Amino acid sequence: MVGIHVDAYAEEMAIGLAILHWKAGIDAQDTEFVIGCSATKTFATVYSDHGSVQPPASTTDDFTERETQLWMLDFDKCSKIDLEDKALSSSQVVEKYMVAVTGNDPYFPHPCLVVDLWRKFRRAYLKASEILIKHRRLGRRVAKLPLMLMEQCEKWGEKDLEAEEYDPFERHSDDEEAEILSEQSSSDDREDDDDEDD
């Protein structure tokens, strides 16, 4: 057992996502959260003047003594969202963030599968968002968006559980969706015809 506190990491991911959304103003598309550790044992500051002791350069340190950290990587597919743009509606902002969150690899707790963990994630995301939005003075319109996003995530979670073959990572335009449904219908019809011939 590594001894990682899942609740703390879920909360850190929520805070990280809030920072990306409300401080950096990016959608977090394809951003990855990874757990890493220091190359050597870390030492806390022990001096009153806040000086620090350099960690040893040894590669034989005990892994149980290493400090684990949560890192965010891969910002190359992120899109900038101008939160002060009045032409961009609240629902458009939430939709852009929602597509990025659900289109990402499943790093975040699932709203309906791990409910207690989701609640902690949600609470941390909303609290961090509130602080960031107030600090940036983004106003009431933007202040409502984090809760709207969390509610959309919960609706997505319910839909994800209800669908047998629902793929949260598959993205199609309306035309592509209609074409896929048509192909599936044609395929089903051919299978029915084959069954009748037997």
CB 149 within 8 A of CB 98: yes
Residue 147: in which H helix or E strand, if any?
helix 145-162
- Give the pLDDT confidence of 54-73 residue by residue, as tens digits: 554 545 555 566 677 788 88
Q: What is the largest CA-CA distance in the chain?
A: 87
Q: Are 95 and 153 in contact (CB under 8 A)?
A: no
- Which residue has better confidence, 179 or 98? 98
Hey, CA dihedral for 134, 116, 107, 36, is it positive or negative?
Answer: positive
Q: pLDDT tens across 129-155, in order?
A: 999 999 989 888 889 999 999 999 998
Comparing 163 with 124, which gets the higher pLDDT?
A: 124
**Least confident span in 14-23, 119-128, 145-154, 183-192:** 183-192
Taking the model in full, what pTM does it have? 0.68
